[in-house]
Amino acid sequence: MQKVNSENWPYPRWLAHRGAGELAPENTLAAFRIGASHGYRMFECDVKLSSDGIPFLLHDNTLNRTTNGTGIAGEHTWNDLSQLDAGSWQSRGFAGEAIPTLANIAQFCLKNRHFLNIEIKPTIGQETPTGQVVAEHAARLWQDAGVPPLLSSFRPEALASAQAAAPHLPRSLLLDTLWPGWLETALKLECAAIICNHTLWDSALVKQVQGARLRCMSYTVNDAPAAHRLLGLETDSIITDRIDLFSPQEAS
């Protein structure tokens, strides 16, 4: 497995958000397939734990928005979660689409030589075990791969736990604001990148992050002027919902 750091950066510039942005039910295999059909080679997804410790894909704390289930997702067993419909909310054509496990997504990515950014998205209060288990599963699933997945989180506790469990997997700190000590935290966590809300980037911040030998990544960029601004700032990666607007081959 390749060792990834800011100097040895194997990932493409463009990432499809939650698989296919808004063209398919987010964080499902259907979304990944559609994202791939638009030429994307790297995907972002959200991973949390079931009550019995299985890493699965879901963004929200609850099941209500993107499945036919209700309640806090992490309080359900995987057996219960696996029976939910995670597609009908998006459109009738995706009715019956299941919630995938991290193992399902790993199989798809490895088979098709795609790259993955796993956002560790813990249920509230489960930051440490989620970081540990997700990192352990990712290390095992990608143990024979050339390029590892990039782990990221808004929660430093989750990244610290992932760092302890699988220090060889690259990490990135997600930021929606520049809170006090963010850079020191990223360096302590031995991150390879910072993933910012794209509106935070300016030339001074790019210089600061690159000066700390970290890569500059952005979420979630859905219009051409914003993308052109980030490209002009020489940031490294852009996460987008608009896989129909941006061609990863033409815009790299």
In CATH, the architecture of 14-240 is: Alpha-Beta Barrel (3.20)
120, 153 contact by CB (below 8 A): yes
- Catalytic residue (choose from 38, 59, 137, 198): 59
Phi and psi at residue 91, to the nearest 5°: -170, 160
In the annotation, is 59 catalytic? yes
For tokens 């919902």, what's the residue? 241
In the annotation, is 228 catalytic? no
pLDDT of 250 over the 70 cut:
no
pLDDT of 249 over the 90 cut:
no
Q: What is the mean pLDDT of residues 51-66?
A: 98
- Catalytic residue (choose from 17, 76, 114, 198): 17
Q: How confident is the model at residue 252 (pLDDT cuts 50, 70, 90)?
A: very low
The pLDDT score that the predictor gives to residue 1 is: 86
pLDDT of 251 over the 60 cut:
no
Q: Residue type at 179?
A: W
Q: What is the mean pLDDT of residues 96-110?
A: 98
What is the percentage of the chain residues whose pLDDT exceeds 70? 99
pLDDT of 6 over the 90 cut:
no
**How far is the first Cα of the chain from the last one, in angstroms, to the nearest whole number?**
25
- Token pair for 252: 């790299």
97, 127 contact by CB (below 8 A): no
Q: What is the mean pLDDT of residues 113-117?
A: 98
Phi and psi at residue 174, to the nearest 5°: -90, 135
Q: What is the mean pLDDT of residues 28-43?
A: 98
DSSP codes joined into one string, 45-89: EEEEE-TTS-EEE--SSBSTTTSS--SBGGGS-HHHHTTS--STT
Rounded to whole angstroms, the Cα distance separating 216 from 233 reads: 10
Q: How distant, in Å, are the alpha carbons of 115, 133, 214 from that of 9?
A: 12, 25, 10
pLDDT of 151 over the 70 cut:
yes
DSSP 200: G
Task: List pLDDT tens digits, range 184-216.
Answer: 999 999 999 999 999 999 999 999 999 999 999
- Token pair for 248: 């990863």
Q: Is the dihedral of CA 76, 94, 104, 122 positive or negative?
A: negative
Rounded to whole angstroms, the Cα distance separating 183 from 194 reads: 9
For tokens 């930021």, what's the residue? 175
What is the percentage of the chain residues whose pLDDT exceeds 90? 95
The pLDDT score that the predictor gives to residue 83 is: 98
> What pTM was computed for the model?
0.97
Q: How confident is the model at residue 30 (pLDDT cuts 50, 70, 90)?
A: very high
- pLDDT, averaged across the chain: 97
63, 84 contact by CB (below 8 A): yes
Q: What is the mean pLDDT of residues 83-109?
A: 97
Q: Are strands 42-49 and 55-57 parallel, antiparallel or unpaired?
A: antiparallel
* SS3 of residue 176 by DSSP: coil
Q: Residue type at 97?
A: E
Q: What is the mean pLDDT of residues 61-89?
A: 98
Rounded to whole angstroms, the Cα distance separating 97 from 85 reads: 6
DSSP 94: G
pLDDT of 243 over the 70 cut:
yes
